[in-house]
Structure 1
Amino acid sequence: MNEQELREGLRSEMAGMTPPPPLSTTAALGAARRTHFRRRAVWASFGSAVVVLAVAGFAAVATPDGHVYQPAGQGPLAPPDTKEPWPTGPDGQPQEDRTARAGSKYEQGIHLLAKAVSIVPAGFTAPEDPPGRSDPTLRTHQAQFEAEVNGVDVWSYLSSVAVAKGKGTGRVIVEVYDAPNPLPTEPCELAQKFWGMRGECRVETVGAARVGVVVRPSDDDRLDQWSAYRHPDGSVVFVAQGVRLDESRPALTKLPFSVPQLAALAVDERFHLK
């Protein structure tokens, strides 16, 4: 076989290949969160003992082949040479990874989910997963250890609630970070840190508070709008909304909250976990 015949054979093989299906919005949501948000290098400035690893993200994530991963899935283990154990669980033993599956931190995640459900506005519903379902997708929660900062364990808490109206289903997400955390103080700079996403941001005033709200993402369609607020005590609240939950359901025709409402929710004391 000469070079020309080899090239023609390769072209013929490639022409007969079926391209892989595109990632769904939900799959991209989980994958991007794992690769962007959880690898914030800024944690490293808070002491030599702080090591941040990419971890399994939030909520149930559907892959293109239809498999669904549960929320609070196991993240990567610490490097073999690490001397830092995971936080101690309620059984008195170190956790197996960053995610709490029992105890006060786990209960705090459940508490946050209940508060997120409570904000669903009139005219919308918050559907529930069937009882006993092992892979919930409509209401999910997670509590995750982030790092030890100045001798204090810093945790994050995440809840995702499906929001439905008519035939459409979207999503509302609330994420809270304990203090002390290294997230920015300036409202729009803080908002741009959410899941590594960026977009058109403006500052909304809620009473004496200044809240950063991304009203339009730049080139990322995982979510449509999100707000961010740092409380005076250093804890941080993100509230996000999207018209689409996943590719298997029609999208909402409008977002649940207006921009001022989204800003007010970031300041809402229901999400000021202490």
Structure 2
Amino acid sequence: MNGEELRDALRKEMASTTPPPPLSTEATLGAARRAHVRRRALWASLGSAAVVLAVSGFAAVATPDDHVYQPAGQGPLASPDGSGDTKEPWPTGPDGQPQEDRTARAGSQHDRGVQLLNEVVSVVPAGYTAPEDPANQPADQRTLRTHQAQFEEKVNGVDRWSYLSSVAVAQGDRVGRVIAEVHDAGNQLPTEPCALARDFWGMQGECQVETVGAVQVGVVVRPGDDDRLDQWSAYRHPDGVVVYLAQGAKLDDTRPGLKRLPFTVPQLAALAVDERFHLR
């Protein structure tokens, strides 16, 4: 095959590929913002996925662009401009000094991350367990419980944070996971329930609106091409705090996945509204 024949073949292959459905402007901009923040966190904290797992042991999560995101990594994170030098100091830690990176390792924000982890463990339903990590866990094995408090941005002079916790949920030798992510009031996430739900990690999917009491919750009941998680709910409280609750039948490729997800769709929607996850 000569060069011209190769180019013709590639053009035919591209023409036969069905393009993805168009995204709304709001969802696209939201996904881009989220992916940008995750990439900044990634490149400063990773030399490679193997190095991160060996050093921190935390549960890696793939971002929409197929990189690895550490939900609760201990390594340094990037500066706002990606250069390694901050234009202004990171938020001040409890010692009165600027943090060394985005992750709070002490103080009130760190404590909220721990609180979120404990709340996720507390809602694991009967018939499932939330196993803890063994004392001598291999460095290359995914951590079963993680938490992180991460500085997102400064809006009108006020620091805005997000909090993420991931908990392995088991039934016998089968393991899935439940994830909670909370964003401070003042965030720039969408308002409409399904637009908010589809903005989670930039993922898309089949969304429906569930009514919980007097409020509406967006729930992605079936993911699109991105199948890292199976279902997730999203709710914006009246004060602007955003809560995501997600569940996946599979934790990683080393363990068999759950046969049934821990929560029904109405239960997942109700958890997003639950005051236990309304961090303030």
TM-score, normalization by structure 2: 0.75
Q: Which residue of 1 aligns with 2:211?
A: 205
Deviation at 1:67, TM superposition (A): 4.4
Of 34, 37, 41, which aligns to 2:34?
Answer: 37
The residue identity in structure 2 corresponding to 1:55 is A
Aligned partner of residue 54 in structure 1, secondary structure:
helix
The residue identity in structure 2 corresponding to 1:76 is A
Deviation digits for residues 7-38 of structure 1 (CA, Å, limit 9, x no counterpart): xxxxxxxxxxxxxxxxxxxxxxxxxxx99734
Deviation at 1:39, TM superposition (A): 1.7
Any stretches of 5+ residues in structure 1 without a counterpart? 5-33, 41-51
Aligned partner of residue 109 in structure 1, secondary structure:
helix
The residue identity in structure 1 corresponding to 2:261 is L
Report if the CA contact (8 A) 2:165-2:179 is conserved: yes
Q: Which residue of 2 aligns with 1:107?
A: 111
Aligned partner of residue 221 in structure 1, secondary structure:
coil
The residue identity in structure 1 corresponding to 2:36 is R
CA distance in 2, matches of 1:53, 1:148: 18
Q: How does 1:17-28 map to 2 (within 5 A)?
A: none
Of 240, 243, 246, which aligns to 1:234?
Answer: 240
Of 88, 92, 95, which aligns to 1:91?
Answer: 95
CA distance in 2, matches of 1:249, 1:157: 27
Aligned partner of residue 183 in structure 1, secondary structure:
coil
Q: Which residue of 2 aligns with 1:76?
A: 78
Deviation digits for residues 207-256 of structure 1 (CA, Å, limit 9, x no counterpart): 01100000001101100000000000000000000000111111000100
CA distance in 1, matches of 2:194, 2:170: 29
The residue identity in structure 2 corresponding to 1:111 is Q
Aligned partner of residue 228 in structure 1, secondary structure:
strand
Aligned partner of residue 170 in structure 2, secondary structure:
strand
Of 178, 182, 185, which aligns to 2:188?
Answer: 182
Greater gyration radius: 1
CA distance in 2, matches of 1:111, 1:56: 24
CA distance in 2, matches of 1:244, 1:112: 21
CA distance in 2, matches of 1:67, 1:272: 31
Deviation at 1:85, TM superposition (A): 1.1
Of 256, 273, 278, which aligns to 1:250?
Answer: 256
CA distance in 1, matches of 2:111, 2:136: 19
Deviation digits for residues 38-91 of structure 1 (CA, Å, limit 9, x no counterpart): 426xxxxxxxxxxx972139xxxx947994443323222343464211001111
Matched, 1:156 2:158: no
The residue identity in structure 1 corresponding to 2:109 is K
Of 217, 225, 231, which aligns to 1:225?
Answer: 231
Q: Which residue of 1 aligns with 2:200?
A: 194
Aligned partner of residue 56 in structure 1, secondary structure:
helix
| Range with bigger deviation, 145-154 or 168-177 | 145-154
Report if the CA contact (8 A) 1:56-1:74 is conserved: no
Matched, 1:55 2:41: yes
Deviation digits for residues 155-191 of structure 1 (CA, Å, limit 9, x no counterpart): 0000000000022100000000001111111000000
Alignment root-mean-square deviation, CA: 2.7
Report if the CA contact (8 A) 2:79-2:86 is conserved: no
CA distance in 2, matches of 1:93, 1:189: 38
Report if the CA contact (8 A) 2:220-2:231 is conserved: yes
Q: Number of residues paired by the alignment?
A: 228
Aligned partner of residue 252 in structure 1, secondary structure:
coil
Aligned partner of residue 210 in structure 1, secondary structure:
strand
CA distance in 1, matches of 2:203, 2:96: 38
Deviation at 1:152, TM superposition (A): 1.2
Report percent identity of matched pairs: 65
Of 118, 123, 128, which aligns to 2:127?
Answer: 123
Report if the CA contact (8 A) 1:35-1:54 is conserved: no
The alpha-carbon distance between structure 1 residues 55 and 164, as it changes in their structure 2 partners (threshold 3 A), is: same
Q: Which residue of 2 aligns with 1:266?
A: 272
Aligned partner of residue 143 in structure 2, secondary structure:
coil
Deviation at 1:151, TM superposition (A): 1.6
Aligned partner of residue 41 in structure 2, secondary structure:
coil
